[in-house]
Amino acid sequence: MGLLGLLQGLLAIAAIVAGMGLSAGLVRVGAARAAQRDAAFMVALRQAAWQIYGYFSGAVTLLVLLFSQPIAHLMLAKSPVYAVLWVAVALLMSLAAGVQIGLLNAYHRVGILARITAISSVAGAIWGIVLVWVWREAALPFVVLGTPLVQIVSSTWFVRELNLPDERPDLEQVRVARGELLRFGLPFTGSQLVGSAVQLGMPFLVLHQLGQENVGYYRAAVLFSTAYIGFLLNALGQDFYPRLSTLKDQPTAFREAIHTQQRFVLLLGSPLVAISLAVAPIIVSVLFSSQFRPTVAILQWQLLGDLLRFVSWTLSYAVLAGLSSRFYFITESLGGGMLLGFSLWGMRQFGLQGLGIGWLATYAGYLVVVAWLLVSRGIWTPVWSNVGLLGLGLSIGVVVRLVSEPWSLLFAIIWGLVCAVWLSRQGWRARAKGAQQ
């Protein structure tokens, strides 16, 4: 199945380059206009997005096809050339689906986006399982078609519900929209490439510093972390980011949305971190094997860093929605550099667990950077209630990490119940405030 990972990696990198941040750009540029029901501009924005899609996806696909033979031999472990051709087809479908999903996100259709995600995940998995079961390894190049195919079909169906007028857009508005998308997309694409380069480079850094066996332990820790926070990050992307983009010209409402989201993320994320810390040794043994016990040393530090990651990523969406995308490129580049630098320092000072310590230091530094940027630009100021909640969550995490079982799990569960009650009270207050208004 290593070939499948290589194919998916090639598809992901090509999609970043050819996608030009269109999906995120449609939200940044279109969310406020969609909320204002400016149908004429949204039609022009859609036309501009499809034009950019045609230019860049066509160019990247052509390059992939022209260099298909060296790509197959150098990047795909001497795979057959036709595997690269199917990646090109998957790329075109994936980018087209991204345009449709970006439009839906600009209109804040969170429920529809959740359905598309669920449908494409399930159908894509079934597609892959059936193909591999019938044709074995020969089917792997076709497996990458599953999820993009389902995404383009389902997103095309659901985008009809937007009822955008079927009219010829104003050419001047198309030009303006195209310029806004490109000004956003170029730095955003650069930041995505930096992030991908860091993620690709980390295993090689671990290999050079600690040896091949420890690369597996590192990958296991990252896989666990990515899996358990995925739903929170999806919520940020599909709900919080469009709301912030809508409020970017309303400073007070913009700041209040950040404060509310931070409180929500902390109350939801800190119990998740505490419980994960308590059960990490068991989960690692169950998901991988007892031989992966060294992974726990990375994971326990990494989980503490994830709490800072929740808060800092909330602020990074504020940077993306409220400032020029070049600032997002700068913060993401600094974040990638800090991850490499702190990881290298951690491995040299503490060995394997230094990867987790470096992760914690990275997101502490990244949080300081994005917070300073937003404060200096007058976009956001921290509130002490959220700062105190972050400190309390980190303290609970440290206690859970230090005490032995079963007390660690008991502390984590108690903290989870406290946060659940707190969240419930926040919900009641929000409903009462809405009723008064």
On whether residue 195 sits in a domain, the answer given is no
Same domain, 218 and 344: yes
The alpha-carbon radius of gyration of the chain (Å, integer) is 23
142 and 68 housed in the same domain: yes
In angstroms, rounded to a whole number, what is the distance separating the alpha carbons of residues 363 and 359?
A: 6
| Per-residue pLDDT, 216 | 84
Q: CB-hemisphere CA count at 13 Å for 135?
A: 9
Q: Which two tokens stand for residue 193?
A: 């490439």
Looking at the structure, do residues 157 and 224 belong to the same domain, yes or no?
no
**Pairwise CA distance, residues 92 & 96, whole Å:** 6
Residues 10 and 156 in one domain: yes
Which residues form the domain of 279? 211-436
Do residues 43 and 166 both lie within one domain?
A: yes
The predicted structure's pLDDT at residue 437: 44
**Averaged pLDDT, 203-221:** 85
Mark whether 169 and 294 lie in a shared domain.
no
Q: 193 exposed, middle or buried (CB, 10 Å; 0-12, 13-18, 19+)?
A: middle
| Residue 326: exposure state from Cβ atoms within 10 A (0-12, 13-18, ≥19) | middle
pLDDT score, position 204: 82
**Phi, psi at residue 109, to the nearest 5°?**
-90, 70
| 3-class state of residue 211 by DSSP | coil
Helices within 351-406 (DSSP H only): 354-376, 384-402
Whether residues 33 and 132 fall in one domain? yes
* pLDDT at residue 230 in the model: 64
Of the pLDDT bands very low, low, confident and very high (cuts 50, 70, 90), residue 1 is very low
Q: What is the mean pLDDT of residues 339-361?
A: 95
pTM for this entry: 0.85
84 and 175 in a single domain? The answer is yes
Domain count, the chain: 2
Contact 316, 336 (CB under 8 A): no
CA 328, 333, 336, 337 torsion: positive or negative?
negative
Q: Are residues 257 and 400 in the same domain?
A: yes
Condensed to tens digits (0 to 9), the pLDDT of residues 408-429 reads: 999 999 999 999 998 888 765 5
- Same domain for 173 and 65, yes or no, is yes
- How does pLDDT run across 98-124, given as a tens digit for each residue? 999 999 999 999 889 989 988 998 999
Is residue 203 assigned to a domain? no
Indicate if 376 and 321 belong to the same structural domain.
Answer: yes
Q: Do residues 27 and 106 lie in contact, with contact meaning Cβ atoms separated by under 8 Å?
A: yes
Query: Does 193 fall in a domain?
Result: no
**Is the residue at 199 inside a domain?**
no
Is 197 among the domain residues? no
Q: How far apart are CA 251 and CA 322, in angstroms?
A: 9
